[in-house]
Structures are given as structure tokens and as C-alpha cells.
Amino acid sequence: MSDYDAIVVGAGIAGLGVASQLQQAGKRTLLLEMYSRPGGRMQSYDLPGGYRVDTGLHLIEMGDKGYCHQLGTRVGVEFEWASFSTTLDLYQDGEWRDMQSFIRLTEEEKALFIEVMKEVAAMEEGDFRAWDNRSFDQWLDVKGISGSLREVWENMSMIMTTIPDTREQSAGECLYIAREALRKGRAVLIAAYPRGGMGGIIAPLAEAFQKMGGRLELGRRVEMVVFEGRKAVGVKVAREGGNPIAREWRVPSTDLVTAPLVVLALPIWHLDKVLDFDQRHSPLPSWWLKRIEDIRGERTGLLGYIVATRRPLYERTVFMSALRSPRTGLPFQAFAPTAFDPGVAPPGRYLLVTDNVVEPEEVEDKFNRDRLLQAHWEDIKEMYRFEDGEVEFALPYFTAGCDGLARKPGLTGDFKPDVQAPGVEGLFFAGDTYLGRGLAIEGAARSAILCAERILG
């Protein structure tokens, strides 16, 4: 008899989502997380003085009409949304302006815009598939979109993909994200902020899982998935403490935990830490191992600041974007969490979160990263017109793998790795790097739903 019916590795939104659905379906589920808190890339920290900050710029596409919300509802959690962004503000010629006022369209362009929007709203999965292997740049060309209308689309597709260059963006994914928003009655790229930040999603999910009887173990790093022949039968978990010499030499002592079902809810770039990628020994087929190795470097990076000030630097409940910020020359995004939820800062204090979209290699190089962060800091002082003396605190942050598999041509839709491992029994995957369309958190939530459906039938 196995220790559990299912083991889920990784307590990000996807792992919490799959684990809760399995537990709800009557499977005795163990959820293992290597860090001391659940949430993965979605974290909120309570700072001294009454601030609550997320790890970087985080808004959730679609809010109550999206897959994140649907995932919560499935496991009996009703997320509370603080506010929705009302529009997109763009930065040009030293000013922030509402997207509407930015677009100066001729009558002919207006007609084209309406026609294109209608066409996008009517698109189906087959249409996205046809565009998954082609760039957004190609789609804009085919539709004859140019001038300021093209610039607005370029801003939106940069936010949708976290990729600056339209030639590198998957048209299928951009069109899917736009279609979802249009169909569900929201303007394109209207995003929501959960009350209390990302913790407002993670904490209730973790609580719901445990209330159902699921077991969540924190600070438990999985070292490897254990197979018997071509069947996953459990995992080896690093043992706390252990032999000091083994610790020094990083040869962990492990405990074996068994289950006939293992779900790896971690990004594909962490799979080689828990699965043997040596084709001579791995139970997984060589084509799959090769595919994962080929695409695991396809990530996107961000760096930016969380800034607390004594006066609001931006009061509108909007998402802000610029194709280039003045000094870094990189795509820029920002929003003011306190405009969405004043409860995330003490009275009379305000938060702004900013980022530049960067190649992962650029943030991995610490000298380059520092140079970019300095330039970014000067950029935001210029863009929001503040002085160092007005700042309560400024927290720099960066990530080389922010939101899933890069949404490039040939990497979206069915090109993403499936939620079920091929050629072996009992091994599944969930998270933003696996099957499931949509912006990062939405994609992760959708893959958690797909994964549980595949397991439970």
C-alpha cells in the first residue's frame, strides 16, 4: 500500500490547484514545497509599517471571469477582487496618456479597427492553432495594421507575451488572449488585483486544501521521482538535518514517499532536478527529453522596483506601458497597487511597482543587472517625476523566468508540453510552462484544471 494516492510537487498556484482538486475527489494527497511558504512565483510579503508587497508587478488577467477564479470556485474558494484596471495608459513624449487619446485614427482606420476586433472576437481554437507557429508581426502585416493602431497593438502584445519584439511573439497566443477578453465582456488587457495582493489567492487555496484533509509540507525539497520500470511510484525528499559531511558535499539524505500518482507542478526548467534526463537510463522517451531540453531555456525576464512614497506617484487604476523607457531602452510596465487596493499600504503611503522586460541572460549577469537597475531607477524618477527624498523605501527585484514558456511562435498552444508524461504511467505536470493558454497566472490555473481533469477522467 502506498503512503498516499497522489503526490504533488510544488505549491505554486498550479500545484495548490491540482492538489486541491485531487483531494476533493477523494485522493489522499501530499503537497510538497521546497520553500518555507506556498505560492511559488506568486507571493505577498507583509513588511514592517503595514505594507503588503508582492514579488514584483502582478496583476491577474480577466479577474472573476478567468481560469484563476474558476480554479478557486472548483475547490470552494471565492477570491475577492479589489479592483480592475480600467484602461491602458501609454507613455509617450514624456507624458502618460490614456490609450484612447493616444489613438488618432482616420475614418478608414477606425473601420479597419472595428472589423479586426469583430474578427478576433469570432476566433475559435482552430484559428489560434493556425497562428501558433507564426508571429504577431506577420498577423499585423496580413491585417494591414499600421501607424498608431499598430503601436497600440504592439504595446498590448508586449504585455500579453512579456516579449518586446512582435516578430518573436506567437500570434496564436496574442489572439487567444485578446479573444478571451472580448468574449468575456472585458476590454483587451483589463486585469484585476486580488484584495490583499497575490496572498489573497494563495492563502485561501492553501487553507482550502488543508481543510479538505490534504497534507501540505513546507521546506521539503523533492530530489527525484522514483520509477519502477515505466511507472512512477513516488518521490525521494531531502531529509532535514542529515549527515553534515553529506550536507557539505551536497549529497542529500532522502526519504522515500510513495504514491501511484506524481504531479510535478514546477516549471520545465526545474525538471532536470527531479527527473533523470540521461536517455540511456530515463524511463521517459528520448524525443520528449530532447524536446524539454530544447525549449527549457525559452524564458522571459523582468527587473524593476517596488517603490513606497509619501504622495501617490500615480492615482489611476490602470496598467501602464511604454514600448521603451528612456534610459534602458527596454519595454516598460507598471501599476500602482494602492490605487487598486489602498489596504496594501498604511494611510498616507503609496506603492508603485515598475518593471522592464529583459532577456533572461541580461538579469542573470549581475553586472548587467545592476547597470540596468540603476538606469531603470533614473527612468522611473523621470517618468513619475519624483525625487529620492520622497521615497520611503525602494525594493529592487528581478527574475529570469517570470511567466512560463516564452510565448513565441512554435511554443504556444499544442506546442507546449502536455500535462501527462508520455510513455510512462502515473506522471503528470501542471503549471505555466505546460498545456494551457493565456497570460501566466491564467495559463498556470488552466493547466491545473486540465491536469486534474486528465487524471480524474
Ligand X SMILES: Cc1cc2nc3c(=O)[nH]c(=O)nc-3n(C[C@H](O)[C@H](O)[C@H](O)COP(=O)(O)OP(=O)(O)OC[C@H]3O[C@@H](n4cnc5c(N)ncnc54)[C@H](O)[C@@H]3O)c2cc1C
Min dist. Cβ of residue 129 to ligand X (A): 22
Q: Please say which residue, 142 or 246, places its beta carbon nearer to ligand X.
A: 246
- Residue with grid cell 523533492, as numbered in its chain: 222
What residues have CB less than 8 Å from 31, skipping those under 6 apart? Answer: 7, 8, 11, 15, 16, 19, 209, 214, 215, 216, 217
Q: Are 239 and 254 in contact (CB under 8 A)?
A: yes
What residues have CB less than 8 Å from 221, skipping those under 6 apart? Answer: 32, 34, 237, 238, 252
Q: Are 298 and 267 in contact (CB under 8 A)?
A: no
Min dist. Cβ of residue 349 to ligand X (A): 22
Min dist. Cβ of residue 332 to ligand X (A): 14
Min dist. Cβ of residue 447 to ligand X (A): 7
Min dist. Cβ of residue 197 to ligand X (A): 11
Going through 348-390 in order, the beta strands assigned E by DSSP cover: 350-358
Min dist. Cβ of residue 424 to ligand X (A): 18
Min dist. Cβ of residue 301 to ligand X (A): 9
Q: Please say which residue, 154 or 442, places its beta carbon nearer to ligand X.
A: 442
DSSP state letter for 329: -
d(CA 298, CA 217): 30
Q: Please say which residue, 89 or 137, places its beta carbon nearer to ligand X.
A: 89
Min dist. Cβ of residue 110 to ligand X (A): 31
Q: Judge residue 241's burial from the number of C-beta atoms within 10 Å of its C-beta, 0-12 exposed, 13-18 middle, 19 or more buried.
A: exposed
Half-sphere exposure of 377 (CA within 13 A, CB side): 16
d(CA 244, CA 194): 43
Q: Please say which residue, 233 or 439, places its beta carbon nearer to ligand X.
A: 439
Q: Please say which residue, 56 or 417, places its beta carbon nearer to ligand X.
A: 56
Q: Please say which residue, 15 or 413, places its beta carbon nearer to ligand X.
A: 15
Q: Please say which residue, 197 or 409, places its beta carbon nearer to ligand X.
A: 197
Burial code of 84-94, b = ≥16 C-beta within 10 A, e = fewer?
bbeebbbbeee
Q: Please say which residue, 7 or 175, places its beta carbon nearer to ligand X.
A: 7
d(CA 370, CA 209): 40
Q: Please say which residue, 292 or 441, places its beta carbon nearer to ligand X.
A: 441
Min dist. Cβ of residue 338 to ligand X (A): 16
Pairing of strands 95-98, 191-194: unpaired
Min dist. Cβ of residue 43 to ligand X (A): 9
d(CA 15, CA 265): 5
Report CA 68 to chain centroid distance, whole Å.
Answer: 11
Q: Judge residue 127's burial from the number of C-beta atoms within 10 Å of its C-beta, 0-12 exposed, 13-18 middle, 19 or more buried.
A: middle
DSSP state letter for 418: P
Q: Please say which residue, 24 or 447, places its beta carbon nearer to ligand X.
A: 447
End-to-end C-alpha distance for the chain, whole angstroms: 23
Question: Among positive and negative, which fits the CA dihedral 267, 272, 276, 278?
Answer: positive
Min dist. Cβ of residue 41 to ligand X (A): 4
- Residue with grid cell 507542478, as numbered in its chain: 265
Q: Please say which residue, 152 or 268, places its beta carbon nearer to ligand X.
A: 268
Q: Please say which residue, 140 or 455, places its beta carbon nearer to ligand X.
A: 455
| The three three-digit cell numbers of residue 439, written as one number | 497570460
Min dist. Cβ of residue 210 to ligand X (A): 16
The site for ligand X (CB under 6 A) is made up of 9-15, 32-35, 40-42, 55-61, 221-222, 265-267, 270, 273-274, 302, 399, 402-404, 431-432, 439-442, 444
| The three three-digit cell numbers of residue 405, written as one number | 514558456
d(CA 338, CA 155): 24
